[in-house]
Amino acid sequence: MSLTNGEISGVAADMDEGRARERDRRYVWHPWSPVGGADQDGPVLVSGQGYRVRDAAGREYLDAMASAMNASCGHAHPALIAAAERQMSLLPHFDLSVGTHLPVGRAAERIGALLPQGLDRTLFVNSGSEATEAAVRIAHNYWTNKGEPRNRIVTFAAGYHGTTYVAQHLSGLPTNAVYGGEPFPVTRVRPSLPPRELRTPEALPVLVEEFERAVLDGTPPAAVFVEALLNVGGGVILPDGFLRALRDLCDRTGALLIVDEVFCGFGRTGRMFGFEHDGVAPDLVTMSKGLSGGYVPFAALTTTEAVYSSFAADPLIGGLRYGHTTGGHAVACAVACAVLDVIEERKLVEASAVLGEQLLAGLRPLLDHPEVSDVRGLGLVATVECARPEAAADLVAGARAHGVLLRRQGTAVMAIPPLVIDESGVAELVRVTGQALAAL
């Protein structure tokens, strides 16, 4: 680790674990947590190095939730810290509605070079939720610009695209229900097959037919908006060929294909982007998390020249009426370019594929446990599906007690380590998960 216990004490000053929790309970509003419920009992983290983090009491953990899935390049990476410091010393930011700066062009060029040909117009925002907001607005406005208004969106009921009002409206997950009326029509597809069957070849025609019905039953949709892998929906892997079939369906109906790569993008699934497994080119791609490695809030949306140029028809400004003062933040752009350097130089995409296979192979024997109904994975995201939510909660708690932080989504327990994890870390992750499960 980069800091000793003594150094942590010096840096944290009076932030011993007890005082930190007391402050937290008194002043912090935690997202996705009950008001007035049990005290927050998560670790009080102080430092990190690579794929490990340390809390205020000096306990060390293997970060298999990658700090909410962001830390693709690990913690305290010197190149990313140096990129942020250098840009801060030059120019922290400049509002892109009235000018530009050097890092934003570099970041947009780098992203365009990674995406399929034709996807080269990038809008920068601050979070994946904002990227979703922008994608929906752009899809709606695109059809208005063409003089053929469409506003219906087709998506997964178990999909998750963020927590702005528009982003939550897309989802059919119970916790994402929005208050008030619907701002636009959404058709949410609930697959008839359970997650353990959905990734099989036999599931492909079933799932495609369900989406065809959703697209064709009603007014023509503006877009089909899906994740390459259902993350919050339970680490659900879709059948090979599904995105290719969606691409064909969108081509037949004119609907734009929007792929949410906020979670999968930049190597998480063993490819640079999740949609690459099917060899398709979406019309719009949303990105965040791994783009800046969790070092700064950052997100992007990239689309085609055809979508971009349609906004010349906007009656008020002849362009997109959407953006944020800190969108395309110069420091965030500089860090993103450094992240892409690290990913390429260390071949982290290739490592994700190889180590992901080792992780999945190590976890598969857990299927013999009566509390486990499925084990699945793609790249460095592995899911142990439990039979009961209580078992999933106990598994996460048991792993944490043995020094591994896992993530739970309902009955799904997900292992999502930084892409810089090594074989030793994967072996430790497998061993501790197995021990925690055995203790159930």
Average pLDDT over residues 86-106: 96
Percent of all residues in the chain with a pLDDT value above 90, rounded to a whole number: 86
- Beta-bridge partners for 223: 153, 256
* 149-161: average pLDDT: 97
In 3D space, the residue among 223, 234, 251, 197 whose CA is nearest the CA of residue 383 turns out to be 234
List all residues 6 or more positions away from 28 whose beta carbon is below 8 Å from its beta carbon. 40
- Return the pLDDT at 243: 98
Is the pLDDT confidence value at 7 over 60? no
Confidence of residue 12 (pLDDT cuts 50, 70, 90): very low
pLDDT score of 68: 62
Rounded-to-integer distance, Cα 279 and Cα 228, Å: 12
Task: Give residue 333's pLDDT.
Answer: 98
Q: Which residue has the tokens 């059948």?
A: 239
Residue ranges of E strands in 127-199 = 153-156, 186-189
**In which band, very low, low, confident or very high, does the pLDDT at 179 lie, cut at 50, 70 and 90?**
confident
pLDDT of residue 13 exceeding 60: no
> What's the token pair of residue 265?
């993008």
Q: Which two tokens stand for residue 62?
A: 């293997």
Lowest-confidence pick of 29-33, 320-324, 403-407, 422-426: 29-33
Contact 138, 170 (CB under 8 A): no
Q: How far apart are CA 241 and CA 105, in angstroms?
A: 34
pLDDT of 1 above 50: no
Rounded mean pLDDT of 46-63? 95
Q: Assess whether pLDDT exceeds 50 at residue 274.
A: yes
- CB-based contacts of 274, cutoff 8 Å, min separation 6: 227, 228, 229, 259, 261, 264, 265, 268, 378
User: Could you give the angle at the alpha carbon of 304 between the alpha carbons of 278 and 339, nearest 5°?
Assistant: 70
Which helix or strand (DSSP H or E) is residue 103 part of?
helix 102-114
pLDDT tens per residue across span 232-257: 999 999 999 999 999 999 999 999 99
> Which residue would you say has higher pLDDT here, 218 or 37?
218
pTM of the predicted structure, to 2 decimals: 0.94
pLDDT-based confidence at 6, cuts 50/70/90? low
The pLDDT value given to residue 26: 87
Specify the range with the lowest mean pLDDT, choosing from 8-22, 24-38, 113-127, 334-348.
8-22
Is the pLDDT assigned to residue 315 strictly greater than 50?
yes
Q: In the 8-state DSSP scheme, what is residue 317?
A: T
Which two structure tokens, joined as six digits, stand for 325? 């003062």
pLDDT at 341: 98
Residue 35 pLDDT class (50, 70, 90 cuts): confident
